[in-house]
């Protein structure tokens, strides 16, 4: 398989460090709110990479963290008057629900920053001992100029960065030796979560957690490190500096970065306020449609969110499911006759479609081309399967469609079969909203369900629902 490596800016043949095994680390979300569609793009893309590598026979160790200590979490906790762990635990649970609904498999390990503090402290100590870090007034900084290869991932020049940074220096950072030095450990402020450390009570900087967790759960060298392209600088650059300085070895072999999900040609983001949460979009579309929409573009191409494009994805998916159902129904009714010579030929064509699907996926995970191949397969199915078709042929066709959809994480079962789970999920969300005294949200969920012909009844035994 060829992977475009951000580090070398080339497509390279993927060669694992250990035969048959792949360690993948994907930077996960900061858990202070529901995730939006932009955050879902790396989740879906790299879950598909994992599924493809698994299909190819690799044993995949997939690690993705939850950043559960961060300014935004603390801010939200203070607004609600609760401990920041209440906020992070709440949104970890919500992210996990969204991931499941998008068919994103649970990671092999989902480490949380707050549970890895001792290892992070040890890493900072190693960096201090090796002369790569220094402490001033309870803050520990990474001595960037000490790491000679700084800038190699983002292809930035250290001198340009330094002159650009000087004017950006924020107050309180005069104590730094150099404007490029970044924080590894920061001292406690009133009302913030903190941990004991050799430099006084405080908490780790964001970049530190990924260096630490990837080492612990994968090893000093990771096969593939991935995330959104906004993480290249400074986050991934800083991860490289920390890990390579501490471990004395290469940090990651292949760096994969997804392009942005945009809306009106701007990056979808919380700060711009131009976002839809996955939860919101799930009230309009099945998340299978959203997954299909995300994979309809190559992951390194920007993808513009528009109702038209999502509608097109919905129709495309519908076409696949209809063909699949027709083939499945025909298989049930068909007698066990052996395939006709024409069917034999079509079976050979099915094999070539599977090969072409693989060729597309091997070309830097080109899911857009892979989906086109599925459409060609569906066309073959529609033009060759009828009441006279043999069971063997129909079954070969359904197995092929199912297998290829499976690699993309697309279910071949239809919406309606998933509907009960979806209703239960919305009811649970409404209960949660009521518990939080968010009655506007609870009413909104009730109305959404009503629009879809589901009436809720609050009884002593809990919430009951019926179709109206
Ligand atoms: P954050 O919680 O902001 O750190 O984001 C979690 C992940 O979502 C990171 O890998 C980001 O790069 C990614 N991400 C955030 N916004 C977008 C977007 N609009 N399009 C694609 N990826 C995004
Ligand atoms: Zn990271």
pLDDT tens sequence across 261-304? 999 999 999 999 999 999 999 989 999 999 999 999 999 999 99
- Ligand at minimal distance from the CA of 28 is 1
Q: Is the pLDDT of residue 76 over 50?
A: yes
- Give residue 337's pLDDT: 76
- Helix (H) or strand (E) holding 79, with range, is helix 71-80
Asked if 226 and 23 touch (Cβ cutoff 8 Å), the reply is no
pLDDT tens column, 37-75: 999 999 999 999 999 999 999 999 999 999 999 999 999
- Compute the distance from residue 423 Cα to the ligand 2 centre, in Å: 35
- Give residue 418's pLDDT: 46
Average pLDDT over residues 168-172: 57
Of 141, 150, 147, nearest to 169 by C-alpha is 141
In the structure, what pLDDT confidence band is assigned to residue 449 with cuts at 50, 70 and 90?
Answer: confident
- Compute the distance from residue 28 Cα to the ligand 1 centre, in Å: 8
Of 56, 35, 55, 25, nearest to 100 by C-alpha is 35
What is the chain's alpha carbon radius of gyration, rounded to the nearest angstrom? 25
Q: Is the pLDDT of residue 198 over 60?
A: yes
Average pLDDT over residues 112-124: 98
- Compute the distance from residue 43 Cα to the ligand 1 centre, in Å: 9
Q: Is 260 helix (H, G, I), strand (E, B) or coil?
A: coil
361 lines ligand 1 (CB under 6 A): no
Q: Which atom of ligand 1 is nearest to the CA of 259?
A: 21
58 lines ligand 1 (CB under 6 A): no
Nearest residue (by CA) to ligand 1, atom 18, is 38
Task: Report percent pLDDT > 90 for the chain.
Answer: 85
In the structure, what pLDDT confidence band is assigned to residue 172 with cuts at 50, 70 and 90?
Answer: low
39 lines ligand 1 (CB under 6 A): yes
Q: Which atom of ligand 1 is nearest to the CA of 303?
A: 20
pLDDT tens column, 207-239: 999 999 999 999 999 999 999 999 999 999 999
């Amino acid at each position: 398989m060829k992977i475009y490596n951000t580090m070398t800016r080339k497509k390279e043949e993927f060669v694992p460090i250990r035969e048959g095994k792949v360690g993948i680390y994907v930077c996960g979300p900061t858990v202070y709110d529901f995730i939006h569609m932009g955050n879902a793009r790396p989740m879906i893309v790299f879950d598909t990479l994992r599924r493809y590598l698994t299909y190819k026979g690799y044993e995949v160790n997939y690690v993705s963290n939850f950043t559960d200590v961060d300014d935004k979490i603390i801010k939200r906790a203070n607004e609600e008057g609760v401990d920041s762990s209440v906020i992070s635990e709440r949104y970890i649970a919500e992210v996990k629900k969204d991931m499941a609904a998008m068919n994103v498999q649970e990671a092999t390990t989902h480490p949380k920053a707050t549970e890895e503090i001792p290892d992070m402290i040890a890493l900072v100590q190693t960096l201090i001992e090796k002369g790569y870090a220094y402490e001033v007034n309870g803050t520990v900084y990474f001595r960037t100029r000490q790491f000679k290869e700084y800038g190699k991932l983002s292809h930035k020049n250290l001198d340009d960065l330094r002159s650009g940074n000087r004017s950006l220096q924020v107050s309180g950072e005069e104590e730094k030796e150099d404007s490029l030095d970044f924080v590894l450990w920061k001292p406690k402020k009133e009302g913030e979560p903190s941990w004991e450390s050799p430099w006084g009570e405080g908490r780790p900087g964001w970049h530190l957690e990924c260096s630490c967790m990837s080492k612990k759960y994968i090893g000093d060298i990771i096969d593939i490190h991935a995330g959104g392209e906004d993480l290249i600088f400074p986050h991934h650059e800083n991860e490289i500096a920390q890990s390579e300085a501490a471990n004395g070895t290469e940090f990651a072999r292949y760096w994969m970065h997804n392009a942005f999900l945009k809306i009106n040609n701007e990056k979808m983001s919380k700060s711009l306020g131009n976002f839809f949460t996955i939860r919101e979009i799930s009230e309009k579309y099945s998340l299978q449609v959203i997954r299909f929409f995300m994979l309809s573009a190559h992951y390194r191409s920007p993808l513009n969110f528009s109702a038209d494009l999502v509608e097109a994805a919905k129709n495309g998916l519908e076409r696949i499911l209809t063909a699949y159902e027709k083939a499945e129904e025909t298989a049930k009714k068909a007698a066990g006759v052996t395939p006709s010579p024409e069917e034999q030929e079509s079976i050979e064509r099915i094999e070539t479609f599977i090969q072409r699907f693989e060729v597309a996926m091997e070309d830097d995970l080109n899911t857009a081309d892979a989906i086109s191949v599925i459409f060609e397969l569906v066309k073959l199915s529609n033009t060759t399967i009828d009441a006279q078709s043999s069971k063997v042929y129909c079954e070969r066709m359904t197995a092929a469609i199912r297998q290829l959809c499976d690699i993309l994480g697309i279910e071949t079962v239809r919406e309606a079969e998933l509907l009960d789970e979806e209703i239960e999920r919305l009811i649970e969300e409404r209960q949660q909203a009521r518990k939080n005294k968010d009655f506007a949200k609870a009413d909104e969920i009730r109305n959404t369900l009503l629009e879809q012909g589901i009436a809720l009844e609050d009884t002593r035994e809990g919430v009951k629902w019926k179709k109206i």
